[in-house]
Amino acid sequence: MANVILIHGGGAHSLAGYEHIADTLQHDFHVNTFLIDLRGHGHSEGKKGDTPSVTDVWHDISQFVDTVKQQHKGAVYLCGHSSGAGLLLNYLSWPKKREVDGYFFIAPEFGYQSGTSSPNQIPFATVQVWKFVLSAMT
């Protein structure tokens, strides 16, 4: 049986709509699917929205891969959604990464300078800097 570790997108968490994917993979395709909360997200410990360093997150992913490999037989895949896909792309370049059988990217967000955005793409969010400045001043 295959095993998929699903990494959520930024500002999300494991139960922000990912249960449907996990349920479908498990029941329709007999794939073990693991939903994890990155540091600072969902039910993870620590300050919400904060991670001391990206390498801490990469260590967390590696530990999770190790645990899945120890407890389950079969191929192990890492799957990232949106900025979770960008995180996995960076994880691929980390010398201490764990070897897995493959990667999946769902609606990847690789960053505004990646050259992968469609020219007619509807922006996910817009930033009004003046509101942040006003908030900081008051």
E strands present in the chain: 3-7, 32-36, 76-81, 102-106
21-30, 50-59, 76-85: lowest mean pLDDT where?
50-59
For the cut 90, the answer to whether the pLDDT of residue 116 exceeds it is: no
Average pLDDT over residues 79-105: 93
* Alpha-carbon separation of residue 100 from 30, 47, 75, 113 (angstroms): 19, 30, 7, 27
pTM to 2 decimal places: 0.78
For the cut 80, the answer to whether the pLDDT of residue 45 exceeds it is: no
Three-state DSSP state, 106: strand
Using pLDDT thresholds of 50, 70 and 90, give the confidence band for residue 125. low
Domain 3-137 maps to which CATH number in 2.30.30.240, 3.40.50.1820, 3.10.450.50, 1.10.1270.20?
A: 3.40.50.1820
